[in-house]
Amino acid sequence: MTAAVSGAMADRRQVNRLGLLVGLGGITMLFAAFTSAYIVRSGGADWVALELPPILWLNTVLIALSSGTLEAARRAFRAGRLASFRSWSAATAALGTGFLAGQYAGWLQLNEAGVFLQSHPKSSFFFVLTGVHGVHLVAGVIALLALFGLAATGRLVPGRSDAPALTAIYWHFTGGLWLYLLAVLSLLG
């Protein structure tokens, strides 16, 4: 149905990619707003440093690996190797879930150390930023599972379907976003 109503010059692939990029622009602004709030607030007298839970580094490795596995999935898809695509995207989803579980473990580690959401401004920002980022990653995992399902039922056609490439862009973006947040949390304040 959507194909039928697109305009004369429409190239669906181009439209979808632009839509995704524009949407990522909006998400970027959300985190830019959080960052500026973070910077302003870090000038406050009650700002205390926060020992980041060590598991974050493991999580970072996981999400970096997941970008690699997703690239492998995308290549496999482009080459028409659907079985391989399925396994690589499942691996990516698993790594992503692992990251989310790791983030949750990080929260628990903080709690055990007596640091809670409302303890001090940096801990508040830590929970808000990781939480909002986690929500975006959950969306990515759902997209990956959907891809897996589509591939399993034969509804993804190499050379025609652009969904794997779009998902990959989004996934890399959330990965990059995590690196950015990690840099903010460990370097600023």
Partner 1 sequence: MAHAKESFISKYIFSFDHKMIGKQYFTLAMIMGFIGGILAVLIRLQLGFPSQPWPFLENLFPVGMASGIMTPEFYVSLFTMHGTIMVFFLLSLLPVSGFGNFLIPLQIGARDMAFPFLNMLSFWTVVPGAIIIIISFFVEGGAAASGWTAYPPLSAIRSAIPGSGAGQTLWLVGMIFFVASFTMGGLNFVVTILNLRTKGLRLMRMPLTTWAQFVVGILGLLSFPALAAGAILLTFDRSLGTSFFLPAGIFIGDTLMPHEGGTPLLWQHLFWFLGHPEVYIIMLPAMGFTSDVLATFCRRPIFGYRSMVYAIMAIGTLSFLVWGHHMFVSGMSPFLGSLFVVTTLAIAIPSAVKAFNWLFTIAKAKIRFTTAALFALAVVSLFVTGGLTGIFLGTNATDIQLHDTYFVVGHFHFIMAGAGLFGAFAAVYFWYPKMFGRKLNERIGKIHFWITFVAYYAVFFPMHYLGVAGMMRRIYDPNVYEYLQPLQPVNLFITISAFVLFAGQLLFLWNYFVSMRRGETATGNPWDAAGLEWSTPAKPGHGNWEGDIPEVHRWPYDYSRPDRKRDFVGQWES
| Residues engaged in binding partner 1 (CB under 8 A) | 1-2, 4-11, 14-15, 18-19, 22-23, 25-27, 29-30, 32-34, 36-37, 40-41, 44-47, 117-118, 120-121, 124, 128, 132
Q: Render the burial of 78-102: b for 16+ CB within 10 Å, e for the rest.
A: eeeebeebbbbbbbbbebbbbbbeb
Shortest Cβ 143–partner 1 spacing (Å): 15
Nearer to partner 1, 35 or 84 (CB): 35
| DSSP-assigned states of every residue in 66-78 | HHHHHHHHHHHHH
Contact 170, 143 (CB under 8 A): yes
d(CA 173, CA 68): 13
What is the four-CA torsion angle of 59, 60, 63, 67, rounded to 10 degrees? Answer: -160
Shortest Cβ 94–partner 1 spacing (Å): 29
Q: Where are the beta strands (DSSP E) in 107-150?
A: none
Nearer to partner 1, 39 or 152 (CB): 39
Nearer to partner 1, 45 or 187 (CB): 45
Please name which of 136, 110, 130 lies closest in space to residue 181, comparing C-alpha atoms: 130
Shortest Cβ 1–partner 1 spacing (Å): 7
Q: Which tokens in the block code for residue 165?
A: 């490439």
Nearer to partner 1, 40 or 187 (CB): 40
Shortest Cβ 130–partner 1 spacing (Å): 13
Shortest Cβ 170–partner 1 spacing (Å): 14
Nearer to partner 1, 9 or 187 (CB): 9
Question: Is 20 in a helix, a strand, or coil?
Answer: helix
Q: What is the DSSP letter of 11?
A: -
Shortest Cβ 92–partner 1 spacing (Å): 25
Nearer to partner 1, 27 or 82 (CB): 27
